[in-house]
Amino acid sequence: MNIGFIGLGKLGLPCALAVESRGHKVVGYDPSEQVKDIVDTKKLQYQEIWAQEHLDKSKIEIKSMEDVVGESEIIFVPIQTPHDPLYEGTTRLPDERVDFDYTYLKKGIKDLSEEIWHQQSKKVVIVISTVLPGTIRREIKPIIDTNPYFKLCYNPFFIAMGTTMRDFLSPEIVLFGVDDNWASKKAKKFYRTLHHSPFYDTTIENAELIKVVYNTFISTKIAFVNTLMEACHKLPNTNVDDVTNALKMCDDRIISDKYLSGGMGDGGGCHPRDNIALSWLSRELDLSHDWFDNIMKQREKQTDWLANLIEETSFKYKGCYDGYPILILGKSFKPETNITTGSPSILLKNILEERGHKQVSMWDPYTDDSENKFQQEPMIYFIGTKHPDFISYEYNQGSIIIDPWRYIPDIDNCEVISIGNSLHG
């Protein structure tokens, strides 16, 4: 098929490359000069598995809106619905809650609708942007309702930044919110050329809700297990991994072992912001309890506790809370990627600086071009991201390594503190 994309950013381009990899012709429109430069030079500025190798041989062209509409049978719309950076998860939570910003999405839909109306040819338009329930009907439908050629579907993806192509081509389900049978049938025919994952047809409002609560359910597991990790760090003869390994075997009621290992809080471009947006919605709907606020507060309080642990370690060995230089290893929100959106380790650094610590540095082999040059003296290393590189990292002798992931081995002339494992020092 001929497939179009309105938006070729960090979500759109990897998905477009995935579609192209299955033999479809793909064209795209994006007003960003940065995006045009990436497509022209074939050099990604962010890390996505499979993406660079497919971009190297890609024939995707950036064209005008008119050409994309004219040449495409199905048009995907992965336009951003951002949150203010205050709600990204790298700083403390503001008291106020807010919805996503739909300005860019509405503008893109308006321009697309006008071009489809001008060409008077039926097009399946698949919006994949994250929105809160009710948004499509409230914000998008009024823009297109008088356009009989604009066949709208809402099809948010369950993908993670850094593994977008893999997740797009091997999804658990294809979530499809639709109120047009013709569009649904055409979309299903297209998806069967990509994979054989099950389709889940539902209302647009259900699809909107399923997308954000899917992310929030993951955040719930992370918040829960990190609370267990703190408990195991304080209870004698306990190890959080032993506890969660038992829970992971109980796949009848607990569902799966994913996101059930103690570590840092969740991050990325979806989870913190989706939790906050649902917290806003909870208050708008006057729910009896704002569950989503609990998740984000646990994430922040756990990071506060990690800062306490760093200070207590420094006091134990130096007699003052700011005695050691602190180096947080890892800025990205998950291993082996350079994406720092919503990074809990950046939140930790900000909290330490808020408390007055002046000797806090960060280094990440996936985000920093500069060489790893820090003073050759004992310091506190905190493993903020579970990069495999830190297993063989050259730690200064006499240092203390605080590991919330429990994967750093014992190191000569250093002390390793495995958080959540009171059996290990």
**pLDDT at site 278:** 83
**pLDDT at site 424:** 61
pTM for the full predicted model: 0.80
**pLDDT at site 294:** 87
- Residue 34 has phi, psi (to 5 degrees) of -65, -40
Q: How far apart are CA 307 and CA 351, in angstroms?
A: 7
Classify 304 as helix, strand or coil. helix
The amino acid present at 224, given as its one-letter code, is: F
Classify 421 as helix, strand or coil. strand
**pLDDT at site 211:** 94
* Under 8 Å between Cβ of 322 and 358: yes
Q: How far apart are CA 91 and CA 304, in angstroms?
A: 11
What are the angstrom distances between the C-alpha of 143 and each of 7, 105, 146, 291? 19, 11, 8, 33
**pLDDT at site 365:** 94
Residues 6+ apart with CB under 8 A from 71: 2, 4, 25, 27, 63
What are the angstrom distances between the C-alpha of 238 and each of 213, 230, 244, 263, 383? 32, 11, 11, 16, 21
Classify 290 as helix, strand or coil. coil
What are the angstrom distances between the C-alpha of 74 and each of 19, 24, 158? 12, 11, 20
What are the angstrom distances between the C-alpha of 30 and each of 9, 27, 191, 270? 8, 10, 24, 22
pLDDT digit string (tens) for the chain, length 425 residues: 999 999 999 999 999 999 999 999 999 999 999 999 999 999 998 889 999 999 999 999 999 999 999 999 999 999 999 888 888 888 898 888 889 999 999 999 999 999 999 999 999 999 999 999 999 999 999 999 889 999 999 999 998 888 999 999 999 999 999 988 899 999 999 999 999 999 999 999 999 999 998 988 888 888 888 888 888 888 889 999 999 999 899 888 777 777 778 889 888 877 788 888 888 888 888 888 888 888 889 999 999 999 999 999 998 888 877 888 999 999 999 999 998 988 999 999 999 999 999 889 999 999 997 767 777 899 999 999 999 999 999 999 999 999 999 999 999 999 999 999 877 65
Q: How far apart are CA 127 and CA 152, in angstroms?
A: 7
